[in-house]
Amino acid sequence: MGRNILNLYKLVRYDIKNGLGSRWYVCLGAAALGLLFCAKLYADYMGMLGYLTDPQFAMGNLLICYFQGKKPYSPEYGDPFVFPASWMVLFLLCSFLTLDYPFHNLNGHGVQVVTRMRSRRVWWASKCIWVAVATLFYFILLYTVAAAFCIALGIPVTLGYGTEVNEELLHILDMEPFGTGDAVLVLCVLPAATALAVNAVQLVLGFFLDRTYCFLATAALLFASAYFHTPLLIGNHAMVKRSVFCTEQGLSPGAYLAADLAVTVACMAAGLVLIQRHDILNKKDS
């Protein structure tokens, strides 16, 4: 037991160093994307400042801009489907960060590691931890960019927000105010938890599909989440406009978080079974 824990620690250190280090360009792209979103919203805000009766603007507005998503689509009312491109790019970039390293590692140096340790479960646990760390790092990077942007321009670094900014610039009408706890859940915890659940699904798909098809499946899941308003499609959980604060059909943040964690745990458990049957010696790196 103690030896397995030591091996797991060594593997996780190796994965973080090599997995994130080899994908520095994705992290740089995430920072640039976050900065672009912040700058665009602030530029729009400055352009309308003279017309706003309540000019309040805070970091919460930037985070809502990050994760606003799309209001529930209702084709029966003749509403056009407007694709939430910025929201989807933000989450797809996170999935791309964690896309191919686990199985690329298994098909290369990982074969020797698994053979030497004689424990596929330790290898799988290290990859699950790596995906969780990489996902968390991605979102910390986005939040750091938003906070740094606010500090540089003297914007309050709080989860508060200007209601009129949401209405006029983000088209979020009649949003119910939420307290600090709900703000943390909706703007900080749920986006990362949902992304982790999506990435866990993608990780398990790696047992059956090569990385190109895994990524396409992830994109399809996010697109379906934007089109269909149902908690069964987990992308809905990370859209502010689909939350209970913006629509009567939304669920509570706690329910969404529980669903995300259930999907993540189920995928990790499924992987423990699949890794025992996975042919690591004859599978070629695609």
Residue 87's pLDDT is 95
Cα gap 238→135, rounded to integer Å: 14
Output the six-digit token pair for 160: 């508060």
Residue 257's pLDDT is 96
- Say if residue 135's pLDDT is above 60: yes
Cα gap 147→59, rounded to integer Å: 7
Mean pLDDT of 127-141: 95
pLDDT category, 284, cuts 50, 70, 90?
very low
- Looking from the CA of 59 toward its CB, the CA atoms found within 13 Å total 23
pLDDT for 1-19, tens place per residue? 567 788 888 888 888 888 8
- Say if residue 285's pLDDT is above 50: no
Residue 3's pLDDT is 73
- Say if residue 277's pLDDT is above 80: no
- Say if residue 123's pLDDT is above 90: no
Mean pLDDT of 38-46: 95
Which of 27, 253, 61 has the alpha carbon at shortest distance from 139? 27
Output the six-digit token pair for 154: 């003297």
pLDDT category, 286, cuts 50, 70, 90?
very low
- Say if residue 108's pLDDT is above 70: no
The 3-state secondary structure of the chain, one letter per residue: CHHHHHHHHHHHHHHHHHHHHCCHHHHHHHHHHHHHHHHHHHHHHHHHHHHCCCCCCCHHHHHHHHHCCCCCCCHHHCCCCCCCHHHHHHHHHHHHHCCCHHHHHHCCHHHHHHHHHCCHHHHHHHHHHHHHHHHHHHHHHHHHHHHHHHHHHCCCCCCCCCHHHHHHHCCCCCCCCCCHHHHHHHHHHHHHHHHHHHHHHHHHHCCCCCHHHHHHHHHHHHHHHHHCCCCCCHHHHHCHHHCCCCCCCCCCHHHHHHHHHHHHHHHHHHHHHHHHHCCCCCCCCC
Question: 193 vs 279, which has greater pLDDT?
Answer: 193
Residue 148's pLDDT is 98
| Least confident interval from 27-31, 114-118, 239-243, 253-257 | 114-118
Cα gap 260→135, rounded to integer Å: 14
% of the chain with per-residue pLDDT over 90: 58
Residue 249's pLDDT is 80
**How high does pLDDT run on average in the chain?**
88
How far apart, in Å, do the first and last CA atoms of the chain sit?
A: 34
pLDDT category, 54, cuts 50, 70, 90?
confident
In this prediction the pTM is 0.91
| Least confident interval from 19-33, 112-126, 224-238, 260-274 | 112-126
CB 225 within 8 A of CB 198: no
